């Protein structure tokens, strides 16, 4: 059994549902999460699955709490075992007094050596479904009913949801589902052991939405006015393709599953030339194919947004697991030197905000903006306050969409010729869309002169002027990009300061709450804009800290190295994780305690 | 009415004297002017190769893209602003080597684009290596003992993959080529025009004279370009035996296959009308999409 740093007064419950791939576990789990968030509770889910369609072992877990939560946790309070393998693999994760819900007809709990420490709840899932005249997939619904029964949560949230969900299939289907859920609950209520945590709806709770990282990015892109999205399927980015494709007609977006990632990137560059807000996204392997085009976007000064959602590599790697090992890759991808912005959302709210901001930055700077995420962010849903759509703004930078270029004398030479790549103090030139009257132009992958012509591109003075012009845009970016985010204690009073990026934010925030309860104050800096690197902010944060620790999901310390390189400062401690699993708050909690208090877990 | 010279820029061409690109350039500029295309509504995307330097010499909305990637850039440009006329110029290495995948998929999408290939059976800009259309057995710096594989059947590939206009031209026959270019540009759907364009510096086999002895105009022999199977058969018979004698191998130029009325890719995009930049004039209202998440 796991040590449980949530403490004896915990008010949260983590439910884990396990079974074979194809059992509909993720859909069932998401239904359960929705029941809780509609009652005003907070949820955070975690899906783990192999790269198989049938036959592998899948688990979905959802953590529920009346308090704000930021990540999953390791201990399981309720294990729903849809097969014996689930019991065998996960019974040790269940806390003392926790429950295992299982169907004795299909699942054995013989592998549990100490059943007395647990509440083993037999629910005849198969029989319930058969008696109600339902299909076998409805076992999940019976199991959800049992979970609600065990935790004392009203069944109405589930039955209302089922009625709504199956409304289009006719009242009979909905009725059978409701009956199955009700039966499942009744069996759980008959369980001999009381479950230690009671979950109740929160009266007058603020509204919430339930989103995963890819849905949040999709919503951010839609809000920003995305015109074209191109991608080739690759886990964990594929669901963003599905999300946008499902909404293309409603919102007027061209969504294209291209022949490969090379085409995705180059098509997006072409769409950007025509003035569309355009984006592509993939994981590291697909980004490898996009790299050539990324450089084209840089030299041609194309405004594009690129999502890179990391899974463990190299090559095919661990397709369905998580890692933060592409930080250096996205920073250095493509030959030559050109400006790029790299933003790393840490949670779903970040993902929404940074996505719409990425489109503005791309237009303002006329250069690629990369959203660096990972599987932990992409796949897992979190309940959050509805996104702040009132804050969304569209800033397209120095753009001329239509009319006559003659009315923009700042973009013309003495003879009235349009200068697409005019050298300016901030490096930004006026971008006239094709179709603007009188604006002859050449976007160019070659080095080029101010008109865009390659013929004179190689001249020494021109090369230097154009190269420096482009790179000056990075200086301009420094004033536009989001600063690092700070959490927890002030670094000057904290025992230790943590630096992290991306989805590690969640487990870190969770852990520092527990540490504060133990009297260990921790300061956290989440580096939101990875590039241009916030040298001043990071340096100052480290200088004000008693000791520093970098927490990142890779083996080689990519963020740590960046800090050393840019800030000339060495972090004191590090936690690296590269087993494909996300950081748990427990791991961070225990390591920090060990460092600060000398306490060994 | 514009003239071909209205599509000139201040830059003088850098092609070798006698390069087949001159004939193509002349034919294209004539086609643009005769079609009455204004230079600011005409977008041309080039790949990388000798042909691509045309980006410097042609007055238009140009994009000198990456080697092999001109078609995806043109696809994005076209779908993001269907009001532009989009022409793609590529070399044989561009379209049939590194970019073959993009070429095949563009054909089957029936995008309303014009794909013009400068086909000289050699890599010119990189000094004479074998190209995907180099005849089997030919000795080049990258194949000193002779090319081992068959050349790509460029027009046959286009027909097989669903292009709705497939033609072949010859850069010495500028008048005929101009007509083909106009037909290709005005065709609604994916138009493939593969143009024999002798490289006077690196290709000593497929010379101007070599082509002149062999080409004939399809229309002179009453060719019916509407029969897809016959068109496919023609591409199998005539184009992969370039080392044979003029009598044995006559090379047809003209429209090999044309299919009118097939819907284009953009016809299927009923969710948008007009240029996509108009989608980003202000933040979108995503209230309904947010409601799905509750």
Contacts of A353 (CB under 8 A, 6+ apart): A220, A345, A387, A388, A391, A482
Q: Give the domains, in start order, of chain B with CATH numbers.
A: 4-269 (3.40.50.970)
Residue with tokens 């669901």: A239
Average of per-residue pLDDT across A440-466? 96
Q: Are A27 and A121 in contact (CB under 8 A)?
A: no
Q: Are A480 and A528 in contact (CB under 8 A)?
A: no
Contacts of A359 (CB under 8 A, 6+ apart): A221, A224, A225, A226, A277, A279, A305, A369, A394, B280
Q: Which two tokens stand for residue A268?
A: 């997006």
Given a cut of 70, is residue A2 above it in pLDDT? no
Q: Nearest C-alpha of chain B: how many angstroms from A136?
A: 27
Which residues in chain A are closer than 8 Å to B39, comparing Cβ atoms? 440
Subunit contact B284:A225, Cβ cutoff 8 A: yes
Phi, psi of A403 (to 5 degrees): 85, -155
Helix, strand and coil in chain B, % to nearest 5? 40, 15, 45
3-state SS, residue A133: coil
Angle formed at CA B139 by CA B137 and CA B140, multiple of 5 degrees? 135
Given a cut of 60, is residue A601 above it in pLDDT? no
* pLDDT at residue number A477: 97
Looking at chain B from residue 262 to 281, which residues have their Cβ under 8 Å from any Cβ of chain A? 269-272, 275-277, 279-281
Which residues in chain A are closer than 8 Å to B43, comparing Cβ atoms? 434
Q: Which two tokens stand for residue A387?
A: 């996104």
CA distance A497 to A513: 14
CB atoms within 10 A of CB A115: 12
Subunit contact B63:A439, Cβ cutoff 8 A: no
Strands B114-119 and B85-91: parallel
Given a cut of 50, is residue A67 above it in pLDDT? yes
* pLDDT at residue number A49: 81
Angle formed at CA A9 by CA A4 and CA A14, multiple of 5 degrees? 55
CB atoms within 10 A of CB B258: 19
Of A215, A251, A292, the CB nearest to B66: A292
Q: Are A302 and A269 in contact (CB under 8 A)?
A: yes
Q: Nearest C-alpha of chain B: how many angstroms from A261?
A: 11
* pLDDT at residue number A5: 76
Of A251, A270, A438, the CB nearest to B72: A270
Angle formed at CA A298 by CA A294 and CA A300, multiple of 5 degrees? 110
Which residues of chain B carry a pLDDT beneath 50? none
Among left, alpha and beta (phi > 0; psi -120 to 50; other), residue B36 is: left
Q: Which two tokens stand for residue B205?
A: 């086999």
CB pairs under 8 A between A and B: 233
Q: Nearest C-alpha of chain B: how many angstroms from A48?
A: 21
Alpha helices by DSSP H, chain B: 21-34, 54-57, 70-80, 92-93, 100-109, 154-161, 174-186, 208-214, 228-238, 287-292
CA distance A589 to A146: 32
Alpha helices by DSSP H, A274-386: 284-300, 327-332, 348-365, 375-379
Q: In this complex, is the C-beta atom of B43 within 8 Å of any C-beta atom belonging to chain A?
A: yes
Q: In this complex, is the C-beta atom of B50 within 8 Å of any C-beta atom belonging to chain A?
A: no
Looking at chain B from residue 90 to 119, which residues have their Cβ under 8 Å from any Cβ of chain A? 101-102, 105
How many residues are present in chain B?
294
Subunit contact A267:B43, Cβ cutoff 8 A: no
* pLDDT at residue number A7: 72
| β-bridge mates for residue A529, sequence order | A343
CA B277 vs. chain centroid, Å, equals 27
Given a cut of 80, is residue A366 above it in pLDDT? yes
CA distance A25 to A31: 10
Q: Give the domains, in start order, of chain A with CATH numbers.
A: 13-189 (3.40.920.10), 210-391 (3.40.50.970), 399-478 (no CATH), 485-597 (3.40.50.920)
Which residues in chain A are closer than 8 Å to B78, comparing Cβ atoms? 270
User: In the predicted model, what is the mean pLDDT of chain A?
Assistant: 95
3-state SS, residue A60: strand
| β-bridge mates for residue B117, sequence order | B90, B194
Which residues in chain B are closer than 8 Å to A248, comparing Cβ atoms? 271
The helix or strand, by DSSP H or E, that contains position A227, with its residue range, turns out to be strand A226-231
Given a cut of 80, is residue A8 above it in pLDDT? no
Percent of chain A with pLDDT over 90: 90
Average of per-residue pLDDT across A404-426? 97
Average of per-residue pLDDT across A296-311? 98
Given a cut of 90, is residue A159 above it in pLDDT? yes
CA distance A148 to A146: 5
Which residues in chain A are closer than 8 Å to B76, comparing Cβ atoms? 228, 230, 266-274, 276, 278
Subunit contact B280:A227, Cβ cutoff 8 A: yes
Given a cut of 80, is residue A196 above it in pLDDT? yes
* pLDDT at residue number A462: 98
CB atoms within 10 A of CB B192: 30
* pLDDT at residue number A194: 85
Which residues in chain B are closer than 8 Å to A394, comparing Cβ atoms? 280-283
Q: In this complex, is the C-beta atom of B145 within 8 Å of any C-beta atom belonging to chain A?
A: no
* pLDDT at residue number A1: 46
Percent of chain A with pLDDT over 70: 98
Q: Nearest C-alpha of chain A: how many angstroms from B136?
A: 29
CA distance A235 to A360: 27
Q: Which two tokens stand for residue B37?
A: 């295309």
Of A207, A224, A273, the CB nearest to B280: A224
Q: Nearest C-alpha of chain B: how many angstroms from A435?
A: 5
Contacts of A528 (CB under 8 A, 6+ apart): A343, A344, A345, A346, A350, A354, A482, A483, A484, A485, A501
Phi, psi of A68 (to 5 degrees): -65, 135
Q: Are A293 and B73 in contact (CB under 8 A)?
A: no
CA distance A373 to A327: 10
Subunit contact A252:B272, Cβ cutoff 8 A: yes
Sign of CA pseudo-dihedral B269, B270, B273, B277: negative
Q: Read off the pLDDT of residues A211-251 as tens digits, 9 standing for 90 and up.
A: 999 999 999 999 999 999 999 999 999 999 999 999 999 99
Subunit contact A266:B65, Cβ cutoff 8 A: yes
With 0-12 / 13-18 / 19 or more C-beta atoms within 10 angstroms meaning exposed / middle / buried, residue A409 is: exposed
Q: Which residue of B has its CA nearest to A263?
A: B72
* pLDDT at residue number B243: 67
3-state SS, residue A475: helix
Which residues in chain A are closer than 8 Å to B287, comparing Cβ atoms? 389
Of B66, B105, B288, the CB nearest to A296: B66
Which residues in chain B are closer than 8 Å to A215, comparing Cβ atoms? 293
Q: Are B137 and B243 in contact (CB under 8 A)?
A: yes
Of B14, B63, B283, the CB nearest to A273: B63
CA distance B55 to B45: 8
B73, B88, B161, B287: best to mutate for the A interface, most A CBs within 10 A: B73
| β-bridge mates for residue A369, sequence order | A305, A341
* pLDDT at residue number A303: 98
User: A24 falls in which pLDDT band (50, 70, 90)?
Assistant: confident
CA distance A279 to B142: 39
* pLDDT at residue number B13: 95
Q: Which two tokens stand for residue B81?
A: 């602003």
Subunit contact B279:A230, Cβ cutoff 8 A: no
């Amino acid at each position: 059994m796991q040590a449980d740093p949530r403490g004896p007064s915990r008010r949260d419950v983590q439910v884990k549902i396990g079974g074979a791939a194809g059992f509909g576990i993720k859909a069932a789990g998401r239904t359960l999460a929705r029941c809780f968030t509609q009652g005003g509770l907070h949820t955070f889910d975690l899906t783990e699955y192999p790269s198989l369609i049938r036959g592998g072992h899948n688990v979905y877990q959802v953590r529920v709490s009346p308090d704000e939560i930021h990540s999953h946790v390791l201990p399981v309070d309720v294990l729903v075992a849809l097969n014996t393998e689930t019991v065998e693999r996960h019974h040790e994760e269940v806390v003392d007094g926790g429950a295992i819900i299982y169907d004795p007809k299909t699942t054995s709990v013989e592998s549990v050596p100490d059943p007395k420490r647990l509440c083993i709840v037999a629910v005849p899932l198969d029989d319930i479904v058969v008696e109600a005249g339902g299909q076998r997939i409805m076992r999940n619904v019976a199991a959800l009913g049992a979970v609600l029964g065990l935790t004392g949560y009203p069944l109405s949230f589930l039955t209302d949801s089922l009625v709504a969900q199956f409304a289009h299939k006719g009242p009979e289907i909905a009725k059978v589902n409701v009956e199955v859920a009700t039966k499942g609950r009744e069996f759980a209520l008959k369980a001999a052991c009381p479950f230690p945590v009671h979950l109740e709806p929160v009266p007058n709770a603020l509204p919430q939405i339930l989103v995963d990282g890819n849905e949040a990015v999709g919503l951010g892109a839609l809000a920003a006015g995305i015109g074209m999205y191109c991608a080739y399927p690759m886990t964990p980015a594929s669901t963003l393709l599905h999300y946008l494709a499902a909404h293309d007609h409603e919102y007027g977006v061209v969504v294209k599953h291209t022949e490969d990632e090379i085409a995705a990137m180059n098509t997006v560059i072409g769409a950007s030339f025509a003035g569309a807000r355009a984006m592509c996204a993939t994981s590291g392997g697909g980004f490898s194919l996009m790299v050539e085009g990324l450089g084209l976007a840089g030299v041609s000064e194309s405004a594009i947004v690129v999502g890179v959602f990391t899974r463990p590599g190299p090559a095919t790697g661990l397709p369905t697991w998580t890692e933060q090992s592409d930080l250096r890759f996205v920073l250095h991808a493509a030959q030559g030197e050109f400006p790029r912005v790299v933003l790393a959302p840490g949670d779903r709210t970040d993902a929404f905000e940074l996505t719409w901001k990425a489109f503005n930055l791309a237009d303002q700077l006329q250069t690629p903006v990369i959203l660096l995420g990972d599987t932990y962010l992409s796949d897992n849903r979190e309940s959050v306050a509805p996104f702040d759509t009132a804050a969304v703004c569209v800033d397209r930078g120095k753009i001329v969409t239509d009319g006559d270029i003659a009315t923009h004398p700042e973009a013309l030479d003495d003879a009235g010729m349009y200068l697409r790549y005019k050298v300016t103090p901030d490096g930004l030139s006026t971008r006239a869309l094709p179709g603007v009257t009188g604006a002859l132009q050449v976007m160019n992958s070659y080095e080029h002169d101010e008109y865009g012509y390659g013929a004179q591109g190689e001249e020494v003075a021109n090369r230097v002027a154009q190269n420096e012009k482009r790179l000056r845009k990075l200086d301009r970016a420094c004033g536009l990009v989001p600063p690092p985010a700070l959490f927890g204690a002030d670094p000057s009073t904290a025992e230790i300061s943590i630096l992290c990026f991306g989805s590690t934010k969640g487990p870190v925030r969770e852990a520092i709450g527990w540490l504060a309860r133990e009297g260990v104050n921790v300061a956290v800096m989440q580096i939101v804009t990875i590039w241009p690197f916030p040298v001043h902010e990071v340096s100052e944060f480290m200088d004000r800290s008693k000791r520093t620790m970098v927490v990142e999901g890779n083996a080689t310390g990519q963020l740590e190295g960046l800090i050393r390189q840019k800030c000339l400062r060495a972090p004191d401690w590090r936690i690296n994780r590269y087993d494909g699993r996300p950081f748990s708050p427990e791991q961070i909690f225990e390591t920090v305690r060990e460092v600060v208090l000398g306490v060994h877990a | 009415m514009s003239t071909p010279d209205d599509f000139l820029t201040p830059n003088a061409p850098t092609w070798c004297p006698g390069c087949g690109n001159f004939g193509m350039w002349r034919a294209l500029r004539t086609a643009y002017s005769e079609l009455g295309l204004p230079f600011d509504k005409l977008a041309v995307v080039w790949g990388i190769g000798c042909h691509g330097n045309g980006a410097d010499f042609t007055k238009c909305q140009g994009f000198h893209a990456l080697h092999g990637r001109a078609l995806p850039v043109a696809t994005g440009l076209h779908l993001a602003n269907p009001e532009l006329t989009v022409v793609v110029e590529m070399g044989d290495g561009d379209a049939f080597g590194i970019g073959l995948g993009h070429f095949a998929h563009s054909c089957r999408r029936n995008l309303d684009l014009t794909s013009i290939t400068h086909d000289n059976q050699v890599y010119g800009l990189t000094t004479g290596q074998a190209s995907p259309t180099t005849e089997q057995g030919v000795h080049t710096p990258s194949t000193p003992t002779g090319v081992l594989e068959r050349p790509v059947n460029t027009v046959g590939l286009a027909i097989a993959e669903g292009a709705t206009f497939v033609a072949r031209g010859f850069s010495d026959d500028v008048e005929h080529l101009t007509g083909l270019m106009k037909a290709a540009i005005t065709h609604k759907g994916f138009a493939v025009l593969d143009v024999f364009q002798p490289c006077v510096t690196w290709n000593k086999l497929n010379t101007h004279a070599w082509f002149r002895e062999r080409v004939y105009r399809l229309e002179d022999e009453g060719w019916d370009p509407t029969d897809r199977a016959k068109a496919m058969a023609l591409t199998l018979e005539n184009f992969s035996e370039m080392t044979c004698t003029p009598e044995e191998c006559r090379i047809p130029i003209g429209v090999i296959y044309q299919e009118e009325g097939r819907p284009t890719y953009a016809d299927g995009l009923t969710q948008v009308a007009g240029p996509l930049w108009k989608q980003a004039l202000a933040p979108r209202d995503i209230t309904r999409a947010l409601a799905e998440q509750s």
